[in-house]
Amino acid sequence: MFARKKIWIASGLLTGLALFAIPAYQPLKFHYAIWRIESAESREQERTACMLASRVGRVWEVNEIHPNEFGVLPSRVKPNTNDVVTEIEWWESAWWKPFGQPYRAYRVLLDPKNRDLLIARSK
């Protein structure tokens, strides 16, 4: 009888952890993709990060932010004066939430062809 009680307690704890982990996974996958995009140092890393971005979720928008619009950028983005910043936006919501939340990554692309990897999937 004591072993059965241990099994029920362990099952309850694992179920509780699983229910806690499901909502936590959604933001983590986007934060990881944002980090990969914004920290890429070479063209190949940037290409891999863009492919990951298209797999993580549906890319909602890919925008270009020109120097006269740099006031809208978050403080973590530090472009040069003549750079065009690419904004990658996902709009995802979990099935238990009625409203979504945008996740955005900002990058001055080293290879403009990598932009096509993000746009091609949204057909």
pLDDT digits (tens, 9 = 90+) for 84-114: 888 999 877 666 666 777 889 998 888 888 8
What pLDDT score was predicted for residue 123?
42
User: Rounded mean pLDDT of 14-31?
Assistant: 77
Element (H, E) at 87: strand 85-92
CA-based nearest residue to 30, from 65, 67, 58, 4: 58
- Which residue in the block uniquely carries the two structure tokens 């999937």? 121
Q: Is the pTM of this model over 0.85?
A: no
Six token digits for residue 18? 């699983």
Collapsed DSSP state (helix, strand, coil) of residue 63? strand
Q: Could you give the CA distance from residue 119 to residue 123 in angstroms, rounded to a whole number?
A: 8
Q: Name the nearest CA neighbour of 105 among 24, 45, 32, 28.
A: 32
